[in-house]
Amino acid sequence: MKNPEECKTNNQQQQQQEMAASSAAMDGVAATALRSVLQRVHQAADLSGRESQRIRLVAVSKTKPVSVIRQVYDAGHRYFGENYVQELVEKAPQQLPEDIEWHFIGNLQSNKVKPLIAGVPNLAMVETVDDEKIANHLNRVVGSFGRKPLKVLVQVNTSGEESKSGVEPSGCVELAKHVSLSCPNLQFRGLMTIGMLDYTSTAENFKTLANCRSEVCKALGIPEEQCELSMGMSGDFEQAIEMGSTNVRVGSTIFGAREYPKKK
């Protein structure tokens, strides 16, 4: 007869092997899904007469383990996005390559600005500047670390939902001017929005953001080609590209459903 302890050890080893195999399989799935999404980006660009290389795909990896992100990285991708400061700081730069260009795409609170800037040297862009207070705070902290100006997008609440962050469309010009003229350590790069979750007014939301860009560019005296539009996620990124998006944020279509810890 086998020793009970030996059986227990063998079972644990088998479970670990199964988990590793499952993780490896998921990694492969993510890399395959990335290629599929990139192909869809190219097709959407072609259909709308646009150059696909002018559209950035940000792979949104929130709640996903480093091993799966690394597989997508190894497939050649370099643009990744996170919604939570703590999760981003834990993943980068200690566990992942420094040539990743991280986009922060979640709601940013003032007390999280310093940990974000200090903990992620390869932070490429903050897409969610939604008022002057957070812009000023980002500007001060970036300056205190002596790093090059940080690229930012102004988040616009195009759906009018109270649950969503973002400046009202009527206020986007003033906020964009504030970032451009009063925040020397920030580089205004464009506008961002999140469409209605049920997609009932997606086209209207995207059209509103495009209209905001026209007004902002006119006020700042810059060509519209210099002002990015970050709009479109897993369920609507092709429509967003057709409507002028230069930056799509795709998570679950690449990485699968979110994996939130179970409440005890």
Highest CATH level, class, for 4-250? alpha beta
pLDDT digits (tens, 9 = 90+) for 141-161: 999 999 999 999 999 999 998
Give the 3-state secondary structure percentages of the chain, helix then strand then coil, rounded to 5. Answer: 50, 15, 35
Q: Average the pLDDT over 71-100 and give the result.
A: 95
Domain segments of the chain as ranges: 4-250
Q: Average the pLDDT over 69-86 and give the result.
A: 97
**What pTM was computed for the model?**
0.88
Query: How many CB atoms neighbour CB 43 within 10 A?
Result: 13
pLDDT digits (tens, 9 = 90+) for 200-251: 678 999 999 999 999 999 999 999 999 999 999 999 999 999 999 999 999 9
The pLDDT, as a whole number, for residue 94 is 81
What is the C-alpha separation between 80 and 229, in angstroms, rounded?
A: 17
The pLDDT, as a whole number, for residue 10 is 52
pLDDT digits (tens, 9 = 90+) for 178-199: 999 999 999 999 999 998 776 6
- Chain centroid to CA 72: how far? 15
Res. 20: pLDDT tops 50: no
Res. 18: pLDDT tops 50: no
In the chain, what percentage of residues exceed pLDDT 70? Answer: 86
* First and final C-alpha spacing in the chain: 39
pLDDT digits (tens, 9 = 90+) for 87-145: 999 998 789 999 999 999 999 999 999 999 999 999 999 999 999 999 999 999 999 99
The pLDDT, as a whole number, for residue 8 is 47
Query: How many CB atoms neighbour CB 66 within 10 A?
Result: 15
What is the C-alpha separation between 88 and 119, in angstroms, rounded?
A: 8
